[in-house]
């Protein structure tokens, strides 16, 4: 019987219990029987059940439990009964209005351009594209800046990068020469439909810009988010970049106070698949109650189940063929999570929601299967917990970005996520593998910079820091599928990422 369940049994009966008593009861082979006997023997005068009360229940007291075990139980008892509330800052759920008309796409892309160009205008002084030809007088302009959405990217026969960018007033061709290696490398990573600023000189015929610099929306170079003080005296900055596996208490910033607790990030559970790692996931659920970290939140970034009809031949790879039964099994697992931990679930492309993104939260028929205190969000969603903003995105756009941007790979998903931050957009490419719904506003634009960007989808793990933002791809709980074997993709399963909400220190724990 887990220590957390012993504590819960006494709490349900109206009693507190000392760490020594919990440790002693937990050391017996039938702790539930002992708890029952002790509760029957107590009277109304007892407020805190200690070792001295166990004799009343017929428990023989051996030597005092080890200090290590008692300290472990004391840490559990000191945790808050419930984690602070979750504030959902941005979510498409219950706000979707689009039906796919042409005018909606025009409005959608104009919204993207307006918001991202507004960020870039803080760094360069740009003019409308139509003014370039209007002001041309047969001479080269030494320096002109424009901001536009990329409508075409191609490489010329002599190795130049030729981009066509457009704003609401017109379109223009800009050229990057390979002789400027740094600039050419940036241009090689430009993708369709992202918004960029370019500065350069206009040729004498007025039809081409020779680019001298490219500006992405990006995060400010000295962006340094201040974490909430959570009642502490001093503000805390995020940690400096550290390698994957850096200990959760290893931050050199802040005062080390862990009152804010921890969030555990996972994704791509794929319950229902015959390659779902049920034993490892069960160990993880048990660890949430027995582990040393003061976990207050569990954040799941999509694909909690494997779904039905997601790809051809999937039915032969399902252990649970009914999607509702898959969610019932998921609810059984999550029902074992201690009640003091808040669970946040966003959908992914395997979940029972529309395929087009942004995706709303799971429908009520499925939400009702889970405990009432589980929080369901859309995909993407920006949530705030203990003053820390977490941007949750399942991550399907990474397929397009990996296929397009040089040096990106499924083995380093954190680098792809950093490219999202540079573009201030989670899914910049339209018409690829991600089907995008033209909502009133572009929900993929990263207006409000998060403290944490959490993704999944690619079934590999990665963690890094970029200009004050912690990026985490939390992997999967599914072993290699036949499809992944054919694609030569090796998943990295059964990992959970722990984030200290006081310092943003991170570490990964393996469960298989």
What ranges do the domains of the chain cover?
A: 3-77, 87-97+220-510, 121-215
Q: Is pLDDT at 490 greater than 80 in this prediction?
A: yes
> Which run of H or of E encompasses 10?
helix 3-12
Top-confidence residue, 58 or 464 = 464
Check whether domain 121-215 has CATH 3.40.50.300, yes or no: no
The architecture (CATH level 2) of 87-97+220-510 comes to 4-Layer Sandwich (3.60)
Q: At what angle do helices 19-26 and 31-41 cross, to 10 degrees?
A: 130
Task: Quickly tell me which residue has 């007033």 as its tokens.
Answer: 169
> What pLDDT is attached to residue 244?
38
**Whole-number Cα distances in Å, 267 to 215, 285, 304, 364, 475:** 33, 14, 7, 21, 6
CA 296, CA 262: separation in Å to the nearest integer? 6
**Contact, 209 vs 202, CB < 8 A?**
yes
Q: How confident is the model at residue 53 (pLDDT cuts 50, 70, 90)?
A: confident
Q: Is pLDDT at 52 greater than 90 in this prediction?
A: no
Task: Quickly tell me which residue has 């949530």 as its tokens.
Answer: 383
**Contact, 141 vs 201, CB < 8 A?**
yes
Q: How confident is the model at residue 257 (pLDDT cuts 50, 70, 90)?
A: very low
What's the average model confidence in pLDDT over 26-48?
76
Q: Is pLDDT at 214 greater than 70 in this prediction?
A: yes
> What pLDDT is attached to residue 236?
42
**Whole-number Cα distances in Å, 73 to 18, 20, 53, 67, 336:** 8, 8, 18, 10, 19
Residue partners of 65: CB distance under 8 A and separation at least 6: 20, 23, 24, 27
DSSP character string of 323-348: HHHHHHHHHHHHTTS-TTSEEEEE--
> What pLDDT is attached to residue 71?
52
What's the average model confidence in pLDDT over 329-354?
96
**Whole-number Cα distances in Å, 390 to 17, 269, 477:** 35, 20, 21
> What pLDDT is attached to residue 23?
77
Q: How confident is the model at residue 13 (pLDDT cuts 50, 70, 90)?
A: confident
> What pLDDT is attached to residue 67?
53
DSSP character string of 380-436: SEEEEETTEEEEE---TTHHHHHHHSTT--TT-HHHHHHHHHHHTBS---SSSSS-B
Task: Quickly tell me which residue has 């047969």 as its tokens.
Answer: 138
Task: Identify which of 208, 207, 213 has the alpha carbon closest to the alpha carbon of residue 180.
Answer: 213
Q: Is pLDDT at 233 greater than 80 in this prediction?
A: no
Q: Is pLDDT at 265 greater than 90 in this prediction?
A: yes
CA 476, CA 458: separation in Å to the nearest integer? 8
CA 504, CA 487: separation in Å to the nearest integer? 35
Q: How confident is the model at residue 30 (pLDDT cuts 50, 70, 90)?
A: confident
Domains 87-97+220-510 and 121-215 share a fold: no
Tens-place pLDDT, residues 63-93:
444 555 555 545 554 455 566 789 999 999 9
Top-confidence residue, 216 or 51 = 216
Q: List the alpha helices (DSSP H) in 262-358.
A: 278-290, 323-334
CA 309, CA 469: separation in Å to the nearest integer? 36
> What pLDDT is attached to residue 226?
58
Task: Quickly tell me which residue has 């080269």 as its tokens.
Answer: 140
Q: How confident is the model at residue 431 (pLDDT cuts 50, 70, 90)?
A: confident
What's the average model confidence in pLDDT over 336-350?
95
Tens-place pLDDT, residues 178-199:
999 999 999 999 999 999 999 9
> What pLDDT is attached to residue 247?
42
Q: How confident is the model at residue 318 (pLDDT cuts 50, 70, 90)?
A: very high
What's the average model confidence in pLDDT over 5-18?
75
Q: How confident is the model at residue 359 (pLDDT cuts 50, 70, 90)?
A: very high
Top-confidence residue, 484 or 389 = 389
Predicted TM-score (pTM) of the model is 0.80
Top-confidence residue, 5 or 468 = 468
Arithmetic mean of pLDDT over the chain: 85
What's the average model confidence in pLDDT over 206-217?
94
> What pLDDT is attached to residue 419?
98
> What pLDDT is attached to residue 253?
33
Q: Is pLDDT at 308 greater than 50 in this prediction?
A: yes
Q: Is pLDDT at 248 greater than 60 in this prediction?
A: no
């Amino acid at each position: 019987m887990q220590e957390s369940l012993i504590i819960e049994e006494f709490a349900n009966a109206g009693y507190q219990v000392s760490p020594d008593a919990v440790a002693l009861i937990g050391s017996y082979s039938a702790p539930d029987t002992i708890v029952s006997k002790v509760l029957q023997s107590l009277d109304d005068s007892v407020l805190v059940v200690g070792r001295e009360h166990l004799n009343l229940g017929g428990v023989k007291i051996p030597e005092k439990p080890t200090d290590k075990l008692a300290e472990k139980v004391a840490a559990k008892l000191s945790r808050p009964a419930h984690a602070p509330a979750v504030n959902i800052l941005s979510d498409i759920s219950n706000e979707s209005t689009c039906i796919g008309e042409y005018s909606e796409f025009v409005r959608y892309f104009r919204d993207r351009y307006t918001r991202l160009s507004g960020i870039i205008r803080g760094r360069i002084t740009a003019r409308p594209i139509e003014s370039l030809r209007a002001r041309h007088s047969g001479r080269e302009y030494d320096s002109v800046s424009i901001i536009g959405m990329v409508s075409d990217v191609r490489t010329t026969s002599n190795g130049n990068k030729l981009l066509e960018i457009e704003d609401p007033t017109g379109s223009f061709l800009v050229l990057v020469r390979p002789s400027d290696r740094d600039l050419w490398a940036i241009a090689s990573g430009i993708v369709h439909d992202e918004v960029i600023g370019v500065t350069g000189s206009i040729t004498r015929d007025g039809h081409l810009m020779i680019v001298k610099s490219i500006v992405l929306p990006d995060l400010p170079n000295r962006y340094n988010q201040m974490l909430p003080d959570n009642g502490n005296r001093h503000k805390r900055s995020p940690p400096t970049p550290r390698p994957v596996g850096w200990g959760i208490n290893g931050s050199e910033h802040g005062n080390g106070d862990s009152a804010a607790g921890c969030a555990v990030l996972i994704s791509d559970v794929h319950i229902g698949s015959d390659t779902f790692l049920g034993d490892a996931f069960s160990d993880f659920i048990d660890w949430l109650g027995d582990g040393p970290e003061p976990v207050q939140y569990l954040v799941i970034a999509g694909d909690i189940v494997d779904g039905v009809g997601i790809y051809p031949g999937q039915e032969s790879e399902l252990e649970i063929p009914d999607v509702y039964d898959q969610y019932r099994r998921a609810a059984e697992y999550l029902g074992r999570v201690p009640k003091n931990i808040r669970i946040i679930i966003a959908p992914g492309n395997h979940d029972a929601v529309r395929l087009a993104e942004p995706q709303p939260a799971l429908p009520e028929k499925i939400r009702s299967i889970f405990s009432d205190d589980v929080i369901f969000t859309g995909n993407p969603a920006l949530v705030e917990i203990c003053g820390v903003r977490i941007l949750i995105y399942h991550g399907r756009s990474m397929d397009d970005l990996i296929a397009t941007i040089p040096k990106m790979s499924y083995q380093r998903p954190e680098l792809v996520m950093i490219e999202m931050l540079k573009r201030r957009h989670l899914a910049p490419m339209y018409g690829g593998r991600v089907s995008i719904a033209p909502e009133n506003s572009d929900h993929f634009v990263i207006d409000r910079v998060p403290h944490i960007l959490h993704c999944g989808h690619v079934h590999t793990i990665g963690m890094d820091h970029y200009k004050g933002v912690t990026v985490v791809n939390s992997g999967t709980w599914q072993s290699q599928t036949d499809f992944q074997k054919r694609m030569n993709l090796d998943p990295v399963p059964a990992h959970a990422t722990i984030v200290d909400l006081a310092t943003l220190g991170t570490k990964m724990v393996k469960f298989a």
